[in-house]
Amino acid sequence: MFKNDIYKYLAGDELTEAQLDLFNDLSNVFIDFPVKIEPPSSAVVALACNSGASLSHALSAGLSCISDQHLPIQQIAEFIHKNHQHNPQEVLDRHTNEKILGFGHPSIKNEDDRVLYLKNKYKQMFGDHTNFCINLEKIMPIPMNIGCIIACLSLDNGIAPHNCLFLPLLGRMFGWLKIYNNTKVKFNKVVPSFLSINNENL
């Protein structure tokens, strides 16, 4: 199967059924955003479609939004991997007055149902990275976000930090496809402004 080949490339050939299930969910939970207001990358995909862009150009526009400020799952994974063998309180003390990557979300103010789902379903797959984040969350004023739980579960199951973004991004791109097609149905194309100007000199 295509997705199994992806999983083996990311985490090695000897994967358990539980790991295959986990990796599938790391994509699935990222297909749709759980609140009505879409995040910037999804809004850009819709805007590109509304402007008449092809699917490939709209997806490219969404991908161009991903940075250390939006979908920073790779950066979260690198932070966790660097610090997971240290005491969580010491890590927190070293980052006083700094944003701790993987905690809090600009649009989801309480606990994210996607985070709770992954925590509860895959407890048996927690390792040092996830346990570190669970313990860090206990002393944080805000809960871990979806990027954090995806990153730490990925790390604990053989995916390198620089590859942790791929599976959720695979899911999000399917979500973008749905947004693109829905936008084509529900919205008229944007008409360039000069076409609506009645100017004999044009």
**How much is the pTM?**
0.89
pLDDT digit string (tens) for 126-143?
A: 999 999 999 999 999 999
| Residue 146: pLDDT over 90 | yes
Tokens of 177: 């496809």
pLDDT digit string (tens) for 8-19?
A: 999 998 899 999
Residue 10 within any structural domain of the chain: no
Residue 168 within any structural domain of the chain: yes
Look at the chain and report how many structural domains it folds into.
1
| Residue 78: pLDDT over 50 | yes
Residue 136 within any structural domain of the chain: yes
Residue 47 within any structural domain of the chain: yes
Q: List the Cα angle 170/134/18 in 5-degree steps.
A: 50
Q: Which domain holds residue 51?
A: 17-188
Residue 24 within any structural domain of the chain: yes
Residue 156 within any structural domain of the chain: yes
**Who contacts 24 (Cβ-Cβ below 8 Å, separation ≥6)?**
3
Report residue 103: phi and psi, to 5°.
-130, 135
Q: Are 49 and 180 in contact (CB under 8 A)?
A: yes
- For range 149-157, the mean pLDDT: 98
Q: List the Cα angle 120/154/119 in 5-degree steps.
A: 10
Residue 202 within any structural domain of the chain: no
Q: Are 13 and 158 in contact (CB under 8 A)?
A: no
Residue 103 CA to residue 18 CA, distance in Å, equals 26
pLDDT digit string (tens) for 45-76?
A: 999 999 899 999 999 999 999 998 899 999 99
